[in-house]
Amino acid sequence: MAKVIFYEKTGCRNNTKQKTLLTAAGHQVEAHNILEEKWTKERLRWFFNNRPVADWFNRSAPRIKSGEINPEQIDAETALNLMLEEPLLIRRPLIQVGYRGEIGFDTQVIENWIGLTPKDQTLQEVSQKLMSTDLQGCAHNHEHHHH
């Protein structure tokens, strides 16, 4: 069992599903609102590891969808400044376990890292259902975006 520190946008359905998967696998989830956290560049940068800057962004953020911000054309410094200003731009969730941080919810990465296998049979069915849905975006009725 791991203690998972989970930075989410409170009320985001997919973040809720992701927390359910973690809990079902026996982890202890400590959720924080990503929008209310006091971020610093160093702290955010740490979660991104060596991923390309374009991967740091929440693609469904309004300023990205409108084309005002193009993640492909932004350098790390600018990206971090924008995110401190507007945490909605940060790809969610940010996950920390011990001395490692990850960004986004890649079930394979998490399985290999702390394990996502549910503890009992009923939970396994729930998890499979959840995993078959798209866990990357954020499902809201007013947001219709398809990848």
CA–CA distance, 124 with 130 (Å, rounded to integer): 10
- Per-residue pLDDT tens over the stretch 11-52: 989 999 999 999 999 999 999 999 999 999 999 999 999 999
Give yes or no for a contact between 11 and 92, defined as CB atoms under 8 angstroms apart: no
> Quick one: pLDDT at residue 145?
43
In which residue are the tokens 């309004």 written? 62
> Quick one: pLDDT at residue 135?
67
What percent of the chain has a predicted confidence (pLDDT) above 70?
90
- DSSP state for residue 96 in the 8-state scheme: E
Is 138 labeled as catalytic in the residue annotation?
no
pLDDT bucket at 140, cuts 50 / 70 / 90 = low
CA–CA distance, 2 with 22 (Å, rounded to integer): 9
Which amino acid is located at 19 in the chain? K
> Quick one: pLDDT at residue 136?
64
Query: The whole model's pTM is what?
Result: 0.84
DSSP 64-89: HHTTSS-GGG--HHHHHHHHHH-GGG
Could you tell me the end-to-end alpha-carbon distance of the chain, in angstroms, rounded to an integer?
33
- Per-residue pLDDT tens over the stretch 76-89: 999 999 999 999 99
**What domains are there in the chain, each with its CATH number?**
3-132 (3.40.30.10)
Q: At a CB cut-off of 8 Å and minimum separation 6, what does 41 contact?
A: 80, 81, 84
Give yes or no for a contact between 35 and 12, defined as CB atoms under 8 angstroms apart: no
User: Of 6, 8, 12, 14, which residue is the catalytic one?
Assistant: 12
| Furthest C-alpha separation in the chain | 47
CA distances from 7 to 12, 21, 64, 81, 95 (A): 11, 15, 20, 19, 6
Q: Looking at the predicted structure, is the pLDDT value of residue 115 above 50?
A: yes
